[in-house]
Amino acid sequence: MSHFDEMTALLYLESQLDAEHARDIAGHAVSCAECRELLHALETEGVWLRESLAGEDESVPAHLINAPERHPAPWGWISALGLSAGGAYTLWSGFVEPWRAQAAQAGFTQGNLFTMLFFSGAFWKGWDAMRSLMEFLAVATLGLVVMWLLRRRWRSSPTIAVVMGAIICSLAIPPAANAAETKNGNPNYTLPAGEEVKTDLIVFADHTQINGDVDGDLIVWSRNVTVNGHVKGDVIAFAQELRVDGPVDGNVRACVQTLQLNNTVGRNVMGWAGDVNLDEKARVNGTMTLGFGQAQLDGAVAGDLLAYGGEMGVNGSLGHNAMIHAGNVSIGPRAEIKGQTKIEAHQQPEVSPTAKLGSPLEFTLKKRGPEKDYSSARFYWHQTLLWGASFVFGLAVLLLAPGFFFDAERACRKAAQSIGLGLLFFFATPIVAIIVCITIVGLGVGISALLLWVIAIYSAQVFVGSWLGERILGEGVGVGAALGRLALGLLILRAVHMLPYIGGWIAFVVLVWGMGGMVLALYRYMRPQLATAI
């Protein structure tokens, strides 16, 4: 007989063949070596299969059960902890504490700073309208979702009646009352004398004149603003010219070209202006914080004066300390400063002999050009602390978002593309954010974008430094290698930044380079989602 196949051999081994056919297979296997080997192989496989099905589960090897031995802490983590402590101290002593002290001098105490900024300040004006819009969008979205879920049941009249009735009831709910009165000039706006606005007043106009009284805050976007009436809250102005001739019980916050104060301000004044003039009849009962091109203070300020700008003249009275950073400063004959007077300027201030100073004037000559004292050990210690702070920040980014960290580092390899995108986003982001903020409703989005833009500016050095360290040390695997590359790269960038004249330009290139790398990394994260959506 010819050779038999595997199926016949399996049936023979399992005793599934009839007696005559089984005898033929047995007789053939005696004389055929090939078929005899097939039977032996199939029989061995069957034994293995039966043993694997009937056997118990294999025990776990002992080397996998035993707990791993504890190794001593690596030097990288110990160094990271030390640098973290130094970086935290640097952030507090070099940035947070001086900022908090200046804010306290400007009238922002520790207890009410964030409350005023985020709950009662101008940044949250207009959120009532935003809330109403969000409520409407939520109702509309809910209606669309319900209609999509019930799209197969539209033939039923009761279903249509219930859905439409619910939508109508939701839209019929009265909206919350607005906490401010908004006026849009066409093109000008005037509040007549004798009239009183019981709430906050928000004005958008070309020329604005307030002759009546405002019981709350006055918030103005206008070219020219004149306040003749009584404002019981704050005056917040974004204008070309702001003139305050009437009393203000609260604060005056202004971002203008010309700021003219001719009456009493009950609390504080904070202004960023080209020209500032405090009339001799004007009085500020709180503090005064200024950023200016030219300023003349002939009136009285009960609190501290903090000023940064070009040319400044003081010929009034200051009830407390004065800290002035300017190009030129002159103190007139009628000036009276009861506290300390600290001036940092490009030349010696002119002080009238009849001026009254509560303490000797402390003057610091502001150097022109590079202000880096390479002979001072304090300068190098300060640079070391700045390096430690940037390293701690990079360590936090690496541990919290390692994927984004390495993606941004790899994106920095495309230097030309990263620098181009970085330049675009460096200048375009604040412009777009400010435009969004002007719409009132978009204040939250605009302010969030500005905050993220500031964080991105500081983060740029981290990714460029990590790329630079990789170019020098080579690629490595693990957190320790990444920390080593980051530390070396940031150290080189800090040393280059110390160079006179060209250090600032190199720092700017690093800034836009790293920002472009972050933009490329974010785009790669968003691209799959966009492709899926399309």
Each residue's pLDDT tens digit, 269-316:
998 888 999 999 999 999 999 988 889 999 999 999 999 888 899 999
Element (H, E) at 231: none
Does 246 reside within a domain? yes
Domains identified in the chain, total number:
4
Identify any residues that bridge with 217 across adjacent strands, giving them in sequence order: none
Residue 160, pLDDT score: 52
CA–CA dist 104, 268 (Å, integer): 12
Cis before 187? omega within 30: yes
Does 90 reside within a domain? no
Identify any residues that bridge with 191 across adjacent strands, giving them in sequence order: 210
Residue 243, pLDDT score: 93
The pairs formed by 104-110 with CB atoms below 8 angstroms and a separation of 24 or more are 105/287, 105/289, 105/303, 105/304, 105/306, 105/321, 105/323, 106/268, 106/270, 106/287, 106/289, 106/304, 106/306, 107/251, 107/267, 107/268, 107/286, 107/287, 107/289, 107/303
* Residues 342, 416 within the same domain: no
* Residues 381, 338 within the same domain: no
CA–CA dist 307, 461 (Å, integer): 31
Does 161 reside within a domain? yes
Residue 372, pLDDT score: 57
Amino acid, res. 350? E
- Of the candidates 324, 383, 522, 385, the one whose C-alpha atom is nearest the C-alpha of residue 87 is 385
Residue 245, pLDDT score: 93
Does 164 reside within a domain? yes
pLDDT in tens, 221-245: 888 899 999 999 999 998 889 999 9
* Residues 224, 275 within the same domain: yes
Does 311 reside within a domain? yes
Strand ranges (DSSP E) for 315-456? 317-318, 322-325, 328-331, 336-337, 341-345, 350-351, 356-357, 362-365
Output the six-digit token pair for 338: 């009861």
* Residues 154, 209 within the same domain: no
**SS3 state at 28:** helix
Output the six-digit token pair for 496: 């280059």
Asked which of 138, 172, 206 is the last residue of a domain, the reply is 172
Output the six-digit token pair for 124: 């949250």
| CB 516 within 8 Å of CB 459 | no
Does 119 reside within a domain? no
* Residues 313, 200 within the same domain: yes
* Residues 284, 432 within the same domain: no
* Residues 265, 340 within the same domain: yes
Does 265 reside within a domain? yes
Does 1 reside within a domain? no
**SS3 state at 236:** strand
Which range marks the domain in which residue 357 is found? Answer: 180-365
Residue 80, pLDDT score: 52
Position of tokens 């009034």?
316
| CB 329 within 8 Å of CB 308 | no
Residue 53, pLDDT score: 64
* Residues 452, 520 within the same domain: yes
Output the six-digit token pair for 259: 């700021």
* Residues 130, 248 within the same domain: no
Asked which of 334, 365, 396 is the last residue of a domain, the reply is 365
* Residues 343, 258 within the same domain: yes
pLDDT in tens, 63-75: 555 544 444 445 5
Residue 55, pLDDT score: 55
* Residues 151, 274 within the same domain: no
Residue 19, pLDDT score: 80
Position of tokens 């980051």?
486
CA–CA dist 92, 96 (Å, integer): 5
Give the global pTM: 0.47
| CB 450 within 8 Å of CB 366 | no
Asked which of 299, 331, 365 is the last residue of a domain, the reply is 365
| CB 304 within 8 Å of CB 321 | yes
- Of the candidates 20, 62, 12, 69, the one whose C-alpha atom is nearest the C-alpha of residue 36 is 12
CA–CA dist 253, 233 (Å, integer): 11
- Of the candidates 237, 485, 498, the one whose C-alpha atom is nearest the C-alpha of residue 370 is 498
CA–CA dist 279, 316 (Å, integer): 9
**SS3 state at 66:** coil
Output the six-digit token pair for 180: 């401010």
Give every residue of the chain whose pLDDT is below 50, as ranges. 67-73, 106-131, 133-135, 157, 170-178, 369-370, 530
| CB 294 within 8 Å of CB 277 | no
Strands 300-301 and 283-284 come out as parallel
* Residues 430, 297 within the same domain: no
